Amino acid sequence: MTRTLVKEAQALGLRVMEGTKVTGFERSGGRIVGLQTWRGSIACGEVILAAGCVSKAMAAHVGVDLPVHNFLARATVLTAPEGLTKERRNVIFSP
């Protein structure tokens, strides 16, 4: 999914800089006008904060209390036994 979003963003003319760590924000008049990165400063008119579980901490650097709540998610991946037909692949979980 991420690869698709990157391709679509680039097709719209957006510049995607993967592997570039943001180390700070440049502000003027209450707005973010640039980003400080370990590759140097980048001037910008708008910023999209898409840092996943660290978005709340990053937003706090500019005084924004972002309502993001992290929680532990669990996933189970099952493989059907050899010979089981598609019609009989029902899985039931019970305590």
The pLDDT tens digits for 33-65 are: 998 999 899 998 888 887 877 888 888 888 888
- Per-residue confidence (pLDDT) for residue 1, from 0 to 100: 60
Compute the distance between CA of residue 54 and CA of residue 68 in angstroms, rounded to an integer: 9
The neighbour count for residue 35, using CB atoms within 10 Å, is 18
- Per-residue confidence (pLDDT) for residue 86, from 0 to 100: 57
What is the Cα gyration radius of the chain?
A: 21
- Per-residue confidence (pLDDT) for residue 83, from 0 to 100: 64
Confidence of residue 95 (pLDDT cuts 50, 70, 90): very low
- Per-residue confidence (pLDDT) for residue 90, from 0 to 100: 52
- Per-residue confidence (pLDDT) for residue 40, from 0 to 100: 92
